[in-house]
Structure 1
Amino acid sequence: MSAQTVKVGICGLGTVGSGTFNVLSRNSAEIAARARCAVEVVHVGARRDNPACELGNTRVSRDIFAVANDPEVQVLVELIGGTTVARELVETALRNGKHVVTANKALIAEFGNELFALAEEYGVTIRYEAAVAGGIPIIKALREGLAGNRIEWLAGIINGTGNFILSEMRDKGRDFADVLAEAQALGYAEADPTFDVEGIDAAHKLVILASLAFGMPLQFSSVFTEGITKLTTQDMEYAEQLGYRIKHLGIAKQTGGGVELRVHPTLIPEKRLIANVNGVKNAVLVEGDAVGPTMYYGAGAGAEPTASAVVADIVDLARALSGGQDCRVPSLGFDSHNLRDVRIVPMSEVVTPWYLRMVAEDKPGVLSRIATIFSDQGISIEALIQKAPAEGETLVPLIVLTNKAAQGSMDQAVAAIQALDSISSEVVRIRVESLDG
C-alpha cells in the first residue's frame, strides 16, 4: 500500500537535528515532488528546545524512546550521537518496524554489522549518508552510481578539523597547538580533540567506505590510525620543496594480499586536486576499474550540509514507502549474507614511498652510512635535502625521500639509523602516495 504522507520522528535537536527540521520545513514542496508524497515531522525527541528551529505544533517528547515507540512514526532519524543510548534507540526503532536514518558514524562503524542484520530481520532498512563527509553524497555514489565498478582504492580527507589544522600550518607557518586552539574556539574541534587529531573519527568513516566499496563486513578494530599531532611546519615546508603537500588521509585499497585500511598523514603530489582541498572541506577520491578516478568534494560538516544528506536518505525511504516497494539498494550495497571475508593487510606489509626527516651531525661519512642502511633493506633514495648548518652549529636537518618500501623494511632501517651516534633526534617518517590510479 502506498503512503500519502511519510511520517518522520527526529531524535536529537542539536546542530544537525535542527538543520534537518529546517530543511524539511523550508523545502517541503520540492521534497514532496521528489518523494512522490508529503514528508511530515510528527514527533521530535529532545531534552531541550533549540532556538535555531521553530517546531510549531510538532509533538515534542523529552524521552527520545517515546519517538521510537510511537506507532505513527515510520522513519526514525537518530541524531543524538554516541554509541550507547543511540544503539538502544535504533534497535528499539528497528524492532518496532521503523526505518532508520542516522548521521552517527561511530554507531555504524562499530555496531553496523549487528544493526543491519536486525534491520533485515524486521524488514526495514538503515540509511546513513550523513555519517561520512557531511553533505557529500559519497555513500550513494558507492552504493549506486559506481555499482558497476570494481573499486580498486579510495582515499579521502574525511575529517575537516584535521584538514583545517594542516591547511593553517602550511599556509601561515603556525604550529599545531596554536591552530588547534583556534579550531576549538571556532567550534571546529571539541574540547577533547582526540577523535579528530588522532584519526579515530576518520577511521570510523573509512571503515564504512571500505565496506561499501569492497563488500566486506565493517571492521573498525582493523583500521590502522595515526594522528597529526607530531607534524611540524618544517615538514610542511620540506614537503613543498619536494613538490608535495601533507594531508591526513583515510586510505582503503585492494591488493593481491587483501585490503589495506589505514589513516595517517600522507605526502601527495601538490598538483593532485585532493592536495588542494583546504580548510574544513572534505574530499574523497575513488578509483573504479571502469570509470577510472572520480572525486567528491564539499562541506564535511555543519548544520545544513549534513542535514542535506539526512534529508536525502529520508526522501529515498519516502519514495520507497510511497510506491509500496522495498528500498532500492541494500544498506551496504551488497547482500549482507554474501559479504566477502577478506584479509586485512598488516601494516608491516604495506608498501609506499617514504619521507624521512632527521637531524644529523655535519661531518663526512654520515650520508654514506645512512645510504648503506637503506641499501641493506633494499630501499633506494629518490631525493635528498641537506641544509647548511647555522653559524656555530654542527647539526643539520636531513630530509630523505625514498622509493617504495614495505613498512617492515623501513622499521628496520629507521631503527638502525636512530642507533647511529651521528643522529641526534627521532627520525620523523611520513608515507607518500601518488593517488594517480
Structure 2
Amino acid sequence: MSKTDLNIFETMESEVRSYCRNFPTVFTQAKGHNMWDEDGKEYIDFFSGAGALNYGHNDEKMKAKLIEYIQNDGITHSLDKATTAKGDFINEFNDVILKPRGLDYKIMFPGPTGTNTVESALKLARKVTGRTDVISFTNGFHGMTIGSLSVTGNSSKRKGAGVPLQHAVTMPYDSFVGEDLTTLEYLEAYLENSGSGVAIPAAMIVETVQGEGGINVASSEWMKKLDDICKRWGILLIIDDVQAGIGRTGSFFSFEEAGIQPDIVCLSKSLSGYGLPFAITLFRPELDIWSPGEHNGTFRGNNHAFVTATAALDYWKDEAFEEGIKERSEMTHEYLEYLVQEYPELKGKVKGRGLMVGISCEEPELASKVAEEAFNRGLIMETAGPNDEVFKLFPAINIEKEALKQGLEIIEESIKATVKAPVAN
C-alpha cells in the first residue's frame, strides 16, 4: 500500500486546519492509549481527541456492540424518531448516571457536537426567562458557532465570527484577577447596582475547569457561591461539561465535587465513548417548555453513538473505575509537581484537576517547544491558554499505569531537551 503524501493536505485542504500542523504525520491506526502513523512509529496519546476519547481508542466492548448493531442492519439515521438504540441509552443513562446522583433531568438531543448543546442551552435559557443577556467568564470556551462564540473569551476565535457578538457579558473567572480577590463579589455588585449597565441575565454559563482557556480550575467554594447567586437572582446556571465531563476531572460530571445541581448541563465529546459525534442537553423538567421541532437537527439521532454510549456506561457501574481515575490523577499530579521543582527553567505551575491537567510556563513559547519535542519522541499532547502557555495532558482516564508513567517520562525528557539541563540540587 502506497503512503499518503503529506503534500496533498498542504495543497488541497483549507488553511484553517490546525492540529495537523502540530502533529505533522499521517496517522493510520489507533488502539487504547496508542496511535501509529504510516511509517509504523508508535505514539502515546495524551491528547485523546481533545477530550473526545476519554476511554481511549477503539474500546473492544464498544467496538463489538457497534459491529453487531451494524451487521444486524440497525437504524443508523433517525432524526428524533424513537429507536431501540435511543431507548436503551436513555434507560441506561438514567439508571447508571442520573438516579444514583439524585439528578432529575430531562434529556434533549440537539445536534451532535459541543457547540450544538451549548446553543440549545442558551436558547432555552432565554426562552424560559424571557431575558436576553448571558453572563460568561474570562478565558471560557464554549464553541465555534455564533451563539457559543458570543460567550467565548478567546479573541482570535471571536474574530473569526466576522460579525458583532452580542447579548453576552464577561465576568472574571475564579482567581482571574489574583488568588486573594473574590471575583463573585465583583459580579454581584454589578447585578445589584442599577447603574452598572449589566441587566439581570437569562443565564450564567461556566466550565468548572477551563480547557482551552488554560486548565483553570474553579474552586468548589466559588462554584457553590455562583450557584447561590444564580438561585437568589432567578438566573439559570448552565454548566458546560463538554470537555471537563465524562470522568475527565475524576467524576462523571465535573460539578459533583462542588455538590451543586445546575439548571442545565451540556455534554458531548466523550459521551459516545468511541469518538462518534453525540451531544445531549440536560435540564430540570420544569424548564422543558419547548414546542415540538422548535429546536432540531438532522443528525440528532446518531444511533451508532447511542450504541457505544450505552456500552461505555458499563464502566460507571463499577466503583473501582472511578477509584482508578483518582489513582492515575494522583500519579500525574505528583509527577508534574516534581517536574516543576526539578526544572525551575520552566517557571512552571501545575494546573488542573483529575486527568485534565498541565503545566503553565512563564517563558513565551516554552510550552509549545516542549509539546513539539514530545511529539518527536513519540507522545501526543497539545497546548492551551490565551498564549499557548500551558502544555496540556489529557491521557485516557483508564490508561494503563505503566503507559501513563512512560508518557510522563517522555515529557520529562522533552523538558530536559528543551531547557538543556536541570539545575543541580
Question: TM-score when scaled to structure 1?
Answer: 0.27
Structure with more contact order per residue of length (Cα contacts < 8 Å, sep ≥ 6): 2
Question: TM-score when scaled to structure 2?
Answer: 0.27
Larger radius of gyration: 1
More strand by share: 1
